[in-house]
Amino acid sequence: MLELRSITAGHGRGTPAVRDVSLTLEPGTSTGLLGPSGCGKSTLARVAALLHRPDRGTLVLDGTPVTRWRHRAPREQRTAVGVVFQQPRLAADPRLPLHDLIAEPLRACGRRPEVRTRVPELAGRVGLGADLLGRRPHEVSDGQLQRACLARALVLRPRWLVCDEMTAMLDASTAAALVGVVEEYRADTGAGLLAVGHDPVLLERWCDRTVHWSELAGRTP
Partner 1 sequence: MTTGPRTPGPRTPGTQPPGTQAAARPVLRVHGLSVRFALRGGRYVEAVIDAGFELAAGECLVLVGESGCGKSVLASALLGLLPGNAQTAGTALLDDGLDLLAADERTLARTVRGRRIGLVPQSPAAHLTPVRTVRSQLEEAVRELTGAPRAGRRAAAEAAAARAAFPTGHLDRHPHELSGGLAQRAATALALVGDAPLLLADEPTTGLDRDLVHRTADELRAHTRDGRSLLMITHDLAAAARIADTVAVMYAGRIVELAPAARFFGAPGPRHPYARGLLAALPEREFTPLPGNPPALSALPPGCAFAARCPAAGPACAERPAFTGGLACHHPAVPEPARA
Ligand X SMILES: Nc1ncnc2c1ncn2[C@@H]1O[C@H](COP(=O)(O)OP(=O)(O)O)[C@@H](O)[C@H]1O
Among 11, 68, 112, 116, binds ligand X (CB under 6 A): 11
When asked if residue 202 is in the footprint of partner 1 (CB under 8 A), the reply is: yes
What residues between 12 and 41 interact with ligand X by CB under 6 A? 13, 17, 35, 37-41
How far apart (Å, rounded) are the C-alpha atoms in residues 81 and 85?
Answer: 13
**Quick one: what does residue 127 bind among ligand X, partner 1, Mg ion, none, with the CB cut-off 5 to 8 Å set by partner type?**
partner 1
Among 30, 31, 42, 174, binds Mg ion (CB under 5 A): 42
When asked if residue 79 is in the footprint of Mg ion (CB under 5 A), the reply is: no
| Least distance (Å) between residue 94 CB and partner 1 | 13
SS (H, E, C) 65-124: ECCCCHHHCCHHHHCCEEEECCCHHHHCCCCCCHHHHHHHHHHHCCCHHHHHHHHHHHHH
Among 20, 62, 114, 199, binds partner 1 (CB under 8 A): 199
How far apart (Å, rounded) are the C-alpha atoms in residues 126 and 151?
Answer: 7
Asked if 40 contacts 17 with a C-beta cutoff of 8 angstroms, the reply is yes
Show Cβ contacts of residue 97 under 8 Å, excluding neighbours closer than 6 positions.
Answer: 133, 134, 135, 136
- Name which of 42 and 144 has its Cβ closer to ligand X: 42
Q: Is the dihedral of CA 95, 97, 98, 100 positive or negative?
A: negative
Among 110, 201, 220, 221, binds partner 1 (CB under 8 A): 201
| Least distance (Å) between residue 187 CB and Mg ion | 27
When asked if residue 89 is in the footprint of partner 1 (CB under 8 A), the reply is: yes
How far apart (Å, rounded) are the C-alpha atoms in residues 159 and 190?
Answer: 7
Asked if 50 contacts 3 with a C-beta cutoff of 8 angstroms, the reply is no
| Least distance (Å) between residue 57 CB and partner 1 | 21
When asked if residue 174 is in the footprint of ligand X (CB under 6 A), the reply is: no
Q: Which residues bind ligand X (CB under 6 A)?
A: 11, 13, 17, 35, 37-43
